[in-house]
Amino acid sequence: MLLKLILAQGMLGLNNGVFYAMLSLGLAIIFGLLNVVNFAHGALYMAGAFVALILYSYVGAWIGLEQLHINFWVALVLAPVIVGCFGMLIERLLLRHLYKFDPIYSLLLTFGVTLVLQGLFINTFGASGTPYPGQPEQLRGVVNLGFMMFPKYRLFAIVFSVLVCLAVWFVIERTRIGAMLRAGTENPELVKAFGINVPLMVTLTFGFGTGLAGLAGVLAAPIYSVSPLMGADLIIIIFAVVVIGGMGSIMGAVVAGFGLGLIEGITKVFYAPAANTVIFFLMVVVLLVRPAGLFGRQS
Amino acid sequence: DGISDDVVKIGVLGDMSGVYSTGFSGDGAVAAVKMAVEDFGGEVLGKKIEVISADHQNKADVASATARQWIDEDHVDMITDLTNSAVALAVQQLASDKGVITMSTGAASADLTGKACTKYGIHYGYDTHALPVGTATAVVKNGGDSWYFITADYAFGHALQDNTSAVVKELGGSVVGSSDVPLASTDFSSYLLQAQSSGAKVIGLANAGQDTVNAIKQAHEFGIVEGGQQLAGMLVLISDVKSLGTDVAKGLNFTVGWYWDLDDESRAWKEKYMKYSNGAAPTFVHAADYSLTLAYLNAIKAAGTDDSDAVRAELSKQKIDDFFAKGGMIRKDGLLEHDMYLVQVQEGAEDPWNVAKVVRTIPGNEAYASLKDGGCAMAQE
Amino acid sequence: MSDFILEARQLGKSFGGFRAVNNVNLNVERGTIHALIGPNGAGKTTVFNLLTKFLTPSSGQILFNGEDITDLNPVEIANRGVVRSFQISAVFPHLTALENVRLALQKRLGVSYHFWRSKSLLSELDDEAIERLDQVGLKRFAHLRAVELPYGRKRALEIATTLGLEPELMLLDEPTQGMGTEDVGQVAELIRNVSVGRTIVMVEHNLGVVADLADTITVLNRGEILAEGPYDVVSKDPAVMEAYMGIKADEVEA
Amino acid sequence: MSEQTAGIGNASEFEDSGPAESAPGNRIVQGVLWGLLILSILVAPAFLYPVFVMQLLCFALFACAFNLLIGFTGLLSFGHAAFFGGAAYFAGHAIKVWGLPPLFGIITGALGAAVLGYLVGALAIRRQGIYFAMITLALAQIVYFFALQLPFTGGENGLQGIPRGTLFGLVSLNDPIVMYYFVAAIFMIGFLIIYRTIHSPFGQVLQAIRENEARALSLGYNVDRFKLIAFVLSASLAGLAGATKAVVFQFASLTDAHWQTSGEVILMTLLGGMGTIFGPIIGAVTIVTLQHELASIGSWVQVVIGGIFIVSVLLFRRGIIGELARVLKVSGV
Amino acid sequence: MSMAVIDKPLLKIADLHAWYGESHVLHGIDLELGEGQLITLLGRNGAGRTTTLRAIMGMVDRRTGSIALRGEEFIGKPAHRIAPSGRIGYCPEERGIFSSLTVEENLLLPPVVGEGGMSLDDIYTMFPNLREVRKRMGTRLSGGEQQMLAIARILRTGARLLLLDEITEGLAPVIVKALGEAIRRLKAQGYTIILVEQNFRFAAGVADRHYVIEHGRVIDRIDDADVGTSMDKLNHYLSV
Ligand SMILES: Nc1ncnc2c1ncn2[C@@H]1O[C@H](COP(=O)(O)OP(=O)(O)OP(=O)(O)O)[C@@H](O)[C@H]1O
Ligand SMILES: Nc1ncnc2c1ncn2[C@@H]1O[C@H](COP(=O)(O)OP(=O)(O)OP(=O)(O)O)[C@@H](O)[C@H]1O
Ligand SMILES: CC(C)C[C@H](N)C(=O)O
Ligand SMILES: [Mg+2]
Ligand SMILES: [Mg+2]
């Protein structure tokens, strides 16, 4: 019985890990390559979920086709693109002006963006959240895992996000793009002088990182209800995940994301009230013994 | 004597945007109060009646700061709604210290007129004692005699869990465990699993609003109901049933303080209310909001003043006899004792809002704790 | 009795598998100017960092005035009187020259943790601070903020500040780097002046300066000591000539 | 990935920081500001709702305490709400349950915040810059969860009904005017402590550390200890503010410990002027007044506050007082 | 001074002005050099030599005048187009080694701008030190190693015009000498080079001409052959 419960809570933990991993991955890309701590990452995740909701429930009505519900699969493609474009807009219009200052200003700026986004969505959709009705038919129902009934959709979310994380890791760590991006963070002027279009690269990277947040949002929509505050507390957890994984480390973000989800889930079996804090305690421990994080480059 | 500041100000302090903003509080509650003021004629003793409202965001500190300023600066005479027990407990205490009447509706904790009762605090509509009397009794009698609670982690949830446990145990059932869940959670799966592995026959939901809806949905998603466990929502509104869909909510029993399909008077009121609220049918909380506003204004009229002591005394003198409550009375401890109704979800009715049918009327004195057992020290002498 | 103010015994430092400093034995005689030279990457800065504990040695021992200071932290070492300068100039840019120097002097009042007292009590140090500035020719810049000083003068300010600690031993890392010829002369002069009554260890690529100032020269190469002695001896050492000056370079792969 | 970012708001960015602090022009401007401050504190309750002014004072003190860290030590703590809110709980518990008189309750709160500050600070100063910010944020979140879950805090309900009691057993603090001057006195004491700290030998070393940490170290200053002391001081004063607020509102709540409050105090300081003496007060007054005046527009407040944040970061990194000082060519204000 | 005009200059700079923000640093630089030539820019600290190179690379806030390379005007070009279309390699004064990249990543970073660049092996042969440290992070290198890396990095790209800023700064004599050799060899291989130096002796013998810059203007131009006879003048320009 206990083993069953541990496995079951572990699965749920892994399920949360999907979002930890995908969000911290985007955050790590943006931080590692642009040196910006994007506080708005949680809000963009929320925006991704809302894009899915809007596509399904509102767009049809807007264009006079009440029966039109743009489905989940389309949202899975469109939402990251839309959120990513929005991210690029933020980068172009706002962040860009802060690169020459202490990175803390970028953190503060994105904090402001978070407040604005949250406020706008609360005003438009209310604070309480709306369920996403567009869960795809193919993924309804449960799978019997032996130790539990697990919704098909959640299983899909886990597999899908693992694949996405691996693909992203490959591109960044195994291609020259990664090195170019890192260099661009450090000394954009010189990299430009070498003949690389740094501003474009930075914008695209930011768009990519935020697009990942949007993607995570779409994945989340059918699981949680879509709410303006869904990213608010999550972002703090994500920060801890990133610190534990090692800031800027792609592998660290992914492994720590899934791993911490798992640990959090299992904690619930033994002492549920500690589940909220276990990640932060682990963070303290990691800081004490390995200040650069599990996968970070030790300085 | 007379009306202080030449105006009677009623403050609606509610959850205007959060998890309780539909069904319990929000625009629907403000509409009910305004409708009552209009029906009353907009004036009392020749002075204007004014309604102001604010969002407490389910935060007791925000609520008490707002209430403090309402009382100190805006000279509000009565504060109502107070959906969210934590909010209500804080504001009721503060207001009573400052000699202002509060009439809580959305808030549920029986402590409001129990151990936390105050001189000017009134609780109107239902409470956590009254809810399980109908629902839990029905469930236990049907064989659901071991319970696991999923509880909203604040004043209300704990009060509801305690009151329900008491009923369950009294009937010979047992409580095997519970999980405390923060207000406004969207993922109940891990708590549901915990409940499932506890082996309890019944998963009692000591929460409300969106929380209840989410918990019920996810229980279905994880095949928990199919696995043989029964869900018991301790506080369910017809708006929740509507958003769940009657197919998902099928078979659910729950307790309400009023149902619009009780009689002609109620049906008529519902029709009128729906015009005020953009077509949403009233929940019993909205009906209570309307009813208490009239009761308060009548008391001022009868007392000839808006002085809190006089009005409070007058409120206990009247019987509440309207579409909402028949022969209800506001007791010394501030509780409105009135009949409650056990209803059951029904499918396929013509009116989309006709989601339930009344299966039992629970007399007020059975539903609510007696003055003596209520635990209000002030009311004991 | 040897009068070595500083002794490093078998000092070693590895980064990962790479041995940047290997078995270095350094004996610095009291009251002398001791120069550390060597090709780039030889480990000179690393040795400095080890001596001042900005890096932790992988092996070996450091003695100061005969006492083992290997386990002290940078602050304790500084407080014993071993003070360093940096390869790039190190001043507090938005403090005035006077305040820069006063920060060094302030330590001896023992009030640095006193957040409840007024800093006007520091003005008793002003006279001495001015005197120190005068020593390095900065008296008239006393009330200018350090950012506004030209590079060479920043270097001088740094030295004046260091002197404020009255160090027994000063470690200077490339004090003339990046200076125009006129500044180089000035700083060299300055170092000679302040060396009176104390010991100086310096890293320097400008052989002119080294020849001019140093009593003893240690040549490092690939983390190890290649040669040691006065300029005339060291500069004629064939190994040094090859490794450092590049004489015979034709035979060495460039 | 360099960690050596110099502290925020210093060095390279603002090259021209006016003449020496004691120049005659400065003296006048400083005097005017001091005069305005004292005068407005004295007469405010005659014109404004006293509870509101007390709230202003509490947040102003909070912002000044925060500024001690960011403006004068170069450390961005993103977790200061933990001390503000934590102290509120300590004070509330001490007064309500232990029955301490309000003044001692508030002191207990500040001491509690000092202990929290020590624990958080000791961990966080192991890293620098953006890391420091994120670590304080996460540690504050632990404090938040404790506030949520420990039995004595009242969880989501908060700690309600903290009695205001009497001062020295003599005057009742339930009288709004007495309460007001009590709060005003606490504010002034806190503010003077901060002012003195900045202008102390200790403050001088803090500034040196902010400008060039390695050099301060090489001069034999135990940099970590200085930072830690500054952190604890700042946390205690933030706690003083939080504890006082708890007594004013008779309430200790999760909001005060939430990260959003940490964000707000940053905004107040940034808006008023980091590293200025009076800036945080102006910033706090602006933000709290805005929140208060705009309360009726609901969540749009968040949008407005967020917008101010963005604009300040982009265009007014010096803040109101900082810009003023630049225009008037003065410093030390 | 001799005013020999080059028939077909590879690079011709005329009346170049440059600004950092408000501050006007270059006040009309004129210089030219032919394919395969090597010139040096001499001058005191702050004269504007570095700025001249940065202005060519588009790394100043504003520039006016003319920079014609192989007949094409470069003033209006965005910074990231300059190196590829001009086949230029730039080695900055502060070296610009990337700390978050390994030595090898640093080496491979600048995109190839043309054919004929050196291979990694050639580079390691030229700078054996670098081979040893190639897996190390960029700024873990000693000052001198960083300098070598900075030069090596642009030799890979196939650039034909090299702008080298104070490459002997902070280097041991042995390396300075080796670099001198390297420069000579590069010139022999047909590279065109602009060298900014404090130390004109370093380049004497290899250079075709020396330009003396002061206050953002070319104040003199000395053919290498005349260095011997212009010693006094040079010393006067470069010291107090
Ligand atoms: N933190 C580090 N990690 C790895 N290697 C390092 C580190 N610091 C220095 N090194 C290596 O140690 C060697 C010695 O470096 P050091 O800076 O001491 O040289 P140096 O003699 O001061 O040279 P220069 O004259 O060029 O400044 C170099 O090869 C350098 O790459
Ligand atoms: N980023 C900048 N902003 C403003 N002014 C600058 C900047 N960089 C250089 N300057 C100024 O431009 C002038 C020319 O500087 P430049 O670096 O070109 O000189 P240089 O001849 O290369 O001397 P050095 O020997 O110092 O390298 C100097 O007065 C310098 O102060
Ligand atoms: C809307 C409600 C369920 C609120 C709840 N009754 C409470 O007391 O908190
Ligand atoms: Mg060195
Ligand atoms: Mg230069």
pLDDT tens, residue by residue, A69-110: 899 999 999 999 999 999 999 999 999 999 888 888 999 999
- C41 in contact with ligand 1, CB cutoff 6 A: yes
C-beta of residue D76 within 8 angstroms of C-beta of residue D131:
no
Instruction: Name the residue facing D220 among C86, C107, C147 (closest C-beta).
Output: C107
Predicted local confidence at residue B207, as pLDDT: 94
At D166, the amino acid letter reads: T
Between the CA of B110 and the centroid of ligand 3 the distance, in Å, is 11
Mean pLDDT value across residues D192-215: 93
How do residues E82-137 score in pLDDT, each as one tens digit? 999 999 999 998 888 998 788 998 999 999 988 888 898 988 888 888 888 888 88
| A247 domain-assigned | no
Residue ranges and CATH numbers for the domains of chain E are 35-58+78-238 (3.40.50.300)
Residue E68: phi, psi to the nearest 5?
A: -105, 125
Q: Using one digit for the tens of pLDDT, what is the confidence trace for B281-334?
A: 999 999 999 999 999 999 999 999 999 999 999 999 989 999 999 889 999 999
Instruction: Domain C1-72+201-254: give its CATH code.
Output: 3.40.50.300
**Residue D132: is its pLDDT beyond 80?**
yes
Check whether C250 has a pLDDT greater than 50: no
E138 within 8 A of E97, measured Cβ to Cβ: yes
| Interatomic CA distance for residues D244 and D238, integer angstroms | 10
Q: Name the residue in chain B with its Cα closest to that of A230.
A: B186
D214 touches chain A (CB under 8 A): no
The pLDDT of residue B349 is 84
CA-closest residue to ligand 2 atom 22: E50
Q: What is the pLDDT of residues D59-93, one digit of tens each?
A: 999 999 999 999 999 999 999 999 999 999 999 99
Which amino acid is present at B363? P
Measured between CA atoms, the residue of chain B closest to residue A131 is B214
Tens of pLDDT, residues A12-48? 999 999 999 999 999 999 987 788 899 999 999 999 9
CA dist., res. A92 & res. A86, Å (int): 10
Backbone angles phi, psi at A81, to 5 degrees: -65, -45
Tell me whether residue A267 is in a domain. Answer: no
**pLDDT, tens only, D285-317:** 999 999 888 877 777 888 999 999 999 999 989
Would the pLDDT of E152 be above 80? yes
> Which residues of D lie closer than 8 Å to E, measured between beta carbons?
1-2
- B231-254 pLDDT, tens digit each: 999 999 998 998 888 888 888 889
Cβ proximity of A198 and E80 under 8 Å: yes
- Token pair for B83: 């959906």
Q: pLDDT above 70 covers what percent of chain C?
A: 91
Smallest Cα distance from E78 to chain A, Å: 9
State the pLDDT at residue A241.
Answer: 94
pLDDT at C85: 78
Instruction: Report the interhelical angle of A275-289 vs A234-245 (nearest 10°).
Output: 30
Average pLDDT for chain B: 92
- Tens digit of pLDDT for each residue in C158-183? 888 888 888 889 998 888 776 666 66
pLDDT (mean) for C98-106: 92
**In this predicted structure, what is the pLDDT of residue E1?**
42
Q: What percent of chain D has pLDDT over 90?
A: 66
More confident residue, D195 or E178: D195
For residue A298, what pLDDT band results from cuts at 50, 70 and 90?
Answer: low
Contacts of E113 in chain A (CB under 8 A): 195
Angle at the Cα of A200 from the Cα atoms of A199 and A204, rounded to 5 degrees: 120
Question: What average pLDDT does this structure show over B84-91?
Answer: 93
Q: What is the pLDDT of residue C88?
A: 63
* Mean pLDDT of all residues belonging to chain D: 88
How are strands ordered across the β-sheet holding B340-345? B253-256, B340-345, B356-362
Q: What is the pLDDT of residue E226?
A: 86
According to the model, what pLDDT value does residue C182 have? 66
Stretch D116-143: mean pLDDT:
91
- Please indicate if any CB of chain A lies within 8 Å of the CB of B193: yes
Contact D202/C at CB under 8 A: yes
User: Which of D10, D214, D222 lies nearest to residue C90, judging by beta carbons?
Assistant: D214
* pLDDT above 90 for C207: no
Q: Report whether pLDDT(B181) > 80.
A: yes
Output the pLDDT for position D11. Answer: 36
Q: Could you report the per-residue pLDDT of B335-381, keeping only the tens digit for each?
A: 999 999 999 998 888 888 999 999 999 999 999 999 989 899 988 76
Residue E108: name the closest of E166, E149, E147, E164 by CA.
E149
Q: How confident is the model at residue A179 (pLDDT cuts 50, 70, 90)?
A: confident
Q: Is the pLDDT assigned to residue A295 strictly greater than 60?
A: yes
Residue spans per domain, chain C: 1-72+201-254
> Higher pLDDT residue, B369 or A249?
B369
- E240 — pLDDT class (breaks 50, 70, 90): very low
| Angle (nearest 5°) at CA C65 between C59 and C67 | 50
Average pLDDT over residues D27-56: 92
Q: Where are the beta strands (DSSP E) in chain D?
A: 159-160, 166-167, 171-172, 251-252
Dihedral of the alpha carbons of C228, C229, C235, C238, in degrees to the nearest 10: -50
User: D254, A233 in Cβ contact below 8 A?
Assistant: no
For the segment C27-43, the average pLDDT, to the nearest whole number, is 89
Pairwise CA distance, residues B107 & B116, whole Å: 13
pLDDT surpasses 90 at B265: yes
pLDDT, averaged across chain E = 86
Alpha helices for chain B (secondary structure H)? 26-40, 60-72, 85-97, 130-141, 155-170, 189-198, 209-221, 238-244, 246-249, 264-276, 284-303, 308-317, 364-367, 371-374
pLDDT for B172 beyond 70: yes
Residues of chain E with Cβ-Cβ distance to D1 below 8 Å are 99-100
Among the residue ranges A60-64, C141-145, D58-62, E68-72, the one predicted with the least confidence is A60-64
Distances (CA, A) of A135 to A70, A75, B3: 11, 11, 57
Ligand 2: nearest atom to the Cα of C180: 25
- A 10 A CB-CB count for E14 gives 13
Helix (H, G, I), strand (E, B) or coil at B125: coil
CB of B121 closer than 8 Å to CB of B112: yes
Which amino acid does the sequence have at B94? L
Please judge whether C115 and D10 are an interchain contact, meaning their C-beta atoms are less than 8 angstroms apart.
no
A17, part of any domain: no
What pLDDT, on the 0 to 100 scale, is given for residue E6?
A: 63
Contact D133 A104 (CB under 8 A): yes
Amino acid D34: pLDDT? 93
Whether C and D touch, i.e. at least 3 CB pairs below 8 A, reads as yes
Q: Which residues of B touch D (CB under 8 A)?
A: 16-17, 54-55, 59-62, 64-66, 68-69, 72-73, 86, 89-90, 93-94, 153-155, 182-183
- pLDDT value for D5: 34
Question: How far apart (Å, rounded) are the C-alpha atoms in residues B14 and B35?
Answer: 17
Q: Is the CB of B235 under 6 A from ligand 3?
A: yes
Name which of C51-55, D52-56, E34-38 the model is least confident about. Answer: C51-55
Count of domains forming chain A? 1
Residues of A in contact with B227 (CB under 8 A): 149
Contacts D2 to E, Cβ<8 Å: 99-100
Max Cα separation, chain C? 68
Does residue E118 line the site of ligand 1, with CB under 6 A? no
Does any CB of chain D come closer than 8 Å to the CB of residue C122? Answer: yes
- State residue D15's pLDDT score: 41
Q: C249: which DSSP letter?
A: G
What separation in Å is there between the alpha carbon of B35 and the centre of ligand 3?
Answer: 23
Say yes or no to pLDDT of E187 above 60: yes
Q: Is any ligand 1 atom within 6 A of the Cβ of residue C43?
A: yes
**H or E stretch at A32:** helix A2-34
Can you name the residues that pair with B2 across neighbouring β-strands? B305
Q: What backbone phi and psi angles, to 5 degrees, belong to B197?
A: -75, -10
What per-residue confidence (pLDDT) applies to D3? 33
Residue C1, pLDDT > 60, answer: no
Q: Check residue C2 and give its pLDDT.
A: 59
- Residues of E29-68 as b/e, b for ≥16 C-beta within 10 angstroms? bebbbeeebbbbbbbbbebbbbbbbbbbbbbbeebebebb
**CB nearest E175 (choices: C40, C151, C182):** C40
What pLDDT band is residue D225 in, cutting at 50, 70 and 90?
A: very high
Helices B264-276 and B284-303: crossing angle, nearest 10°? 100
Which string of DSSP letters, residue by residue, matches E192-203? EEEEE-S-HHHH
The CB of B108 under 6 Å from ligand 3? The reply is yes
User: Residue D200 and residue C115: Cβ atoms within 8 Å?
Assistant: yes
* Nearest-angstrom CA–CA distance, C240 and C40: 13
What proportion of chain B, given as a percentage, has pLDDT over 70? 99
Between residues E240 and C119, the one the model is more confident about = C119
Would the pLDDT of D16 be above 70?
no
Per-residue pLDDT band for E185 (boundaries 50, 70, 90) equals confident
d(CA E221, CA E209): 7
Instruction: Give residue A297's pLDDT band: very low, low, confident or very high (50, 70, 90).
Output: low
Please report the pLDDT score of residue A7 as a whole number: 94
Percent of chain B with pLDDT over 90: 77
Q: Is D217 on the interface with C (CB under 8 A)?
A: yes
Range of the domain at A162: 27-232
Chain C residues whose CB is inside 8 A of the E173 CB are: 205, 207, 244-246
Residue A279 lies in a domain: no
